[in-house]
Amino acid sequence: MKNAILILALLSFSIVSFSQKTGSVNSIKQLTDSIEVIMKQENITGLMLGITTKDSVIFSGGFGYSDLDAKRRVDEKTLFRMGSITKMFVSLGIMKLVSEGKLKLDDELKKIAPEVPFQNKWESTNPVRIVHLLEHTTCFDDIKLNRMYSLDAKENTGIDMMLVHKNSMICRWKPGERFAYSNPNYAILGYIIEKLSGTPYSQYLTENILTPLGMMNSNFNLRSKFPQKDVKEYIVKNGKTIRVKSVTLLSGPQGALWSSAEDMVRFLQLFLRKGSPLFTANTIAEIETAHSSLAARSGQKNGYSLGNDNTFFGYSKLPFRGHGGLTGTCFSSCKYNRELGIGFVLASNSNNNNYRVEDLIVSYFEKTLPATHMPIESIHEKAVERS
C-alpha cells in the first residue's frame, strides 16, 4: 500500500510539474510552445507536426533540427521516416486492385501467389487469405531482427523483398483466429501489388496515391537518398546526442515511406473527408472495419482493420484511427478522429516515442468534450466457441 501511495504521489507531482512548466494550453501557439518544452525535457532533436481538419490545415511545420551539424531546422518540407504508416498506403493500393476487380479480400494467398513460401498446417480448412495479410491475422511470426535492416546500400526489390522474410511465414495458429502483428504480411502484399499491377509497388503507390493527393515530396526509399531534405538520425546516450547511420530497410512495403508535414496533412484529409474521387466512402469504411479475427467475427469491429488501427491516447475520450511507425530512430504517428474533425501527424528523429506530445495534442482538442465511454458491443457467443 505504501508503494502504491508513493507511485500516486509521484504521478501527481509529475502531472502538476508538467502543467506548471507547459502552462495552460488554450491556443495553437500555447500548444506548440508546450511541445517545445517536452522536446527539451526529453532531448528530442527534431520533430515534425501537421494538424488538419478535413478542409484546412491548422499547423504544418516542425521544431528543432533535422541535421545538427549543418544546423538545418525541421520545417514543413523536411522528410522523416514514417515507418509502418507505410502500411496505410499499401492497404489503399490493395483496395484499388479490389475496386478494379483484380483481387478479392477473401482470395486465398496460395491461389493468388503460389510462389510465396509460407507454411500453414491448417491450409486445407483455414487457408491464408488476403484479408489475413491486411489485418495481421495470418498468425505468421514477426520480422526476424537480422531481416529488418542493413548497414550497406543493397536494396531488395521485386520478389526478393518478400522472400527475405520466408523464415517468418509460418502460421503459429489457425489463420483468422487472432491478431498478431507481423511485418512480413505487408512484404507479401507489396509483392502482390507488383504481381497484379505489373509495376513496382512503390511506383504503383506513387502514381495512384501520392501524386493524385499532391504528396509531391514523399517517396518509398529504403534508405536516405535526399540529404538536403531527409532528416539525420540520432540517439541520446548519457545525456549526449549522437548521430547514427541511416540504415537500409530490407523490405519496403512494411515501412519505407519518407514524408513531410506538408504532404501528410493531405493524406489525413482523405480520411477525415471519408473519401474522395480517388477512394470512395465505402472503401474508406471497409478499411476502417475489422473483418477476419475471431474478435471481429464475434461482433468487435473496432480493432486493427485493413492497415488501420484504433487507438486511445492516455485519458482520451475518443478513439483515434490511423497507424504508428518506427524505422531507424524515427518514431511516427498518423491519427484522425472524424467526430472531432481533427487529424494529426508527427515524427521525431532521435529514438523518442513521442507519447507525451501525442497526449498533449489529443487533450487539447478533446478538452471541451464531456466525459464519455465506448459503447458496449455485444459478442456472438457462437463465434467464440472452440473449434
Secondary structure in 3-state letters for the chain: CHHHHHHHHHHHHHHHHHHHHHCCCCCHHHHHHHHHHHHHHCCCCEEEEEEECCCCEEEEEEEEEEECCCCEECCCCCEEECHHHHHHHHHHHHHHHHHCCCCCCCCEHHHHCCCCCCECCCCCCCCCEHHHHHHCCCCCCCCCHHHCEECCCCCCCCCHHHHCCHHHCECCCCCCCCCCCCCHHHHHHHHHHHHHHCCCHHHHHHHHHHHHHCCCCCECCCCCCCCCCECCEEEEECCEEEEECCCEECCHHHCCCEECHHHHHHHHHHHHCCCCCCCCHHHHHHHCCCCCCHHHHCCCCCCCCCCCEEECCCCCCCCEEEEEEEECCEEEEEEEECCCCEEEEEEECCCCCCHHHHHHHHHHHHCCCCCCCCCCCCCCHHHHCCC
- pLDDT at residue 218 in the model: 98
Fold of 24-368+378-384: Beta-lactamase (3.40.710)
The candidate with the shortest Cα–Cα distance to 363, out of 3, 35, 7, is 35
Binned at pLDDT 50, 70 and 90, residue 269 comes out as very high
Q: Which of 44-58, 138-152, 361-375 has the highest mean pLDDT?
A: 44-58
Amino acid present at 328: G
d(CA 204, CA 277): 18
Per the confidence metrics, is the pTM higher than 0.85? yes
Residues 333-384: tens digit of each pLDDT: 999 999 999 999 999 999 999 999 999 999 999 987 765 545 555 555 555 5
Residue 216 has pLDDT above 80, yes or no: yes
Residue 172 has pLDDT above 90, yes or no: yes
Residue 1 has pLDDT above 90, yes or no: no
Asked whether 92 and 276 are in contact (CB, 8 A), the reply is no
- The whole-number average pLDDT for the span 79-85 is 98
Residue 23 has pLDDT above 60, yes or no: no
d(CA 174, CA 162): 22
d(CA 349, CA 361): 19
d(CA 18, CA 37): 9
Q: For residue 41, give Cα distances in angstroms to 17, 36, 44, 198.
A: 12, 9, 8, 49
Residue 21 has pLDDT above 80, yes or no: no
Residue 17 has pLDDT above 70, yes or no: no
Binned at pLDDT 50, 70 and 90, residue 300 comes out as confident
d(CA 348, CA 49): 9
Q: For residue 153, give Cα distances in angstroms to 5, 6, 78.
A: 53, 51, 22
- The whole-number average pLDDT for the span 161-178 is 96
Residue 8 has pLDDT above 50, yes or no: no
- pLDDT at residue 379 in the model: 54
- The whole-number average pLDDT for the span 48-55 is 97
- pLDDT at residue 238 in the model: 87
Which residue bears the cell 489463420?
175
- Strand pairing category for 258-259 and 80-81: antiparallel
CB atoms < 10 A from the CB of 375, how many? Answer: 6
More confident residue, 257 or 18: 257
Residue 7 has pLDDT above 80, yes or no: no
Q: Using a pLDDT cut of 90, give the percent of the chain over it.
A: 80
- The whole-number average pLDDT for the span 263-286 is 95
Question: What are the boundaries of each domain within the chain?
Answer: 24-368+378-384
